[in-house]
Amino acid sequence: MSVFNMFAKAAVALLMLAALTLTGYTQADPEPTYAPRGTHSVGVVDVTVGNGDDTLNATVWYPALNPDEMEERYTYDLNGLLTVGQALDGAQPDLSAGPYPVIVYSHGLFGARFESTRYIEHLASWGFVVIAADHIGSTFFDTTSATDVLKSFGRRPQEITRLIDHLETLNTEVDFAGLFDMDSVGVTGFSFGGYSALMVGGAVLNSEAIIDICEGFSVEANALCGADNRQLLAQTVGLDAVPDGLWPSVADERVKAVVLLAPCCVDFIGVDGLVDFTLPTLVIGGSADTGAPVERHGQVVFDHINSEPRALAVIEGAGHEVYLDIYAGDIVRAHDLIGHLATAFFSAQLKGDINAAAQLEPSAVNFPEISYTAVGFGEE
């Protein structure tokens, strides 16, 4: 099976919303502190980054003013795919409590910037600015070949850096002047977006790990098993030749913390490609995820990065799609728990909130749906 077909089948499976195992949750179980929506109204505005074939179509969510107490309702329209969210179109930014930390959201392969608007709006309501773009050649409407996927391994971290650059420019313009705290930048991503967050945070590709994976596989089974394809990827990131071992880092030093949602493709990084990753990290995975099995990806990240603090939360019975707006499975608190953990983590790391950090101590994460391990958050 080709890499393109593999991801395509995974995407189809994702959209089918496979049934998930019921959890032991009861109404008597503790309510996650950061599960409710925050106190900020949320504004939303579309922006374009760059021009020509490299144009990124992006959206920014931010704490906003709502003096007339208008209903927060916004319809996201992406190539005719509609999602209704809770935001105010073009609302005036609320500068009174700014500047706000910045979070970049990176979507999954065959996804789009609007795949997890509930998660994104939730973060904005708690006092963060979030930006997300449609990664070029990596969405459900413009991924046409294995070559697109191959190039995405190199382009995605570059595109995250371009989004951060754009916010630095936007931060000097009249409407948004001083809204963004560019000294407090985080990245969060789902699946292939988790890989993207890892790379921009300091992980590196590893030719030896790729070759090990390719033993017994053809180019048709895995495009990265072809020497010509690896050369194309090298050129995409500005290299003349494929490195023998570790690839150069594409890290953006402005990134201070990451939240990885079902990260994939960790086997192309390998243990050696993770050892120089030192950013505070929260990994969230699902025990029933067959698209990016947590034991092959998220657990490997947690075990081998040199980050403190770091945490791994595994949602029992959750599959690959539990993070998306389309999820309607049996884990009734899935979105609440994900929002709680990510909000607490980013509040602790980007705002220095000690109360939020306390929510990530092992004794505090006592939800029946979650198995949790942490280093650097209170007792271990």
Residue 89 has pLDDT above 90, yes or no: yes
Residue 218 has pLDDT above 80, yes or no: no
What mean pLDDT is reported for the chain?
90
Task: Kindly report, residue by residue over 305-360, the tens digit of the pLDDT.
Answer: 999 999 999 999 999 999 999 998 889 899 999 999 999 999 999 999 999 999 99
The whole-number average pLDDT for the span 72-93 is: 93
Between the ranges 9-13, 68-72, 140-144, where is the mean pLDDT highest? 68-72
Residue 6 has pLDDT above 50, yes or no: no
CATH of region 3-375: 3.40.50.1820
Full strand arrangement of the beta sheet holding 129-133: 88-89, 41-49, 56-64, 129-133, 100-106, 180-190, 255-261, 281-286, 310-315, 370-375
* Domain range annotation of the chain: 3-375
Region of 248 (left: φ > 0; alpha: ψ -120 to 50; beta: rest) is beta
pLDDT at 278: 98
Does the pTM surpass 0.85? The reply is: yes
Contact 191, 320 (CB under 8 A): yes
Residue 221 has pLDDT above 80, yes or no: no
Strand partners, 104: 131, 187
Closest CA relative to residue 191, chosen from 232, 141, 125, 135: 135
Q: Higher model confidence: residue 23 or residue 360?
A: 360
Closest CA relative to residue 116, chosen from 324, 341, 319: 324
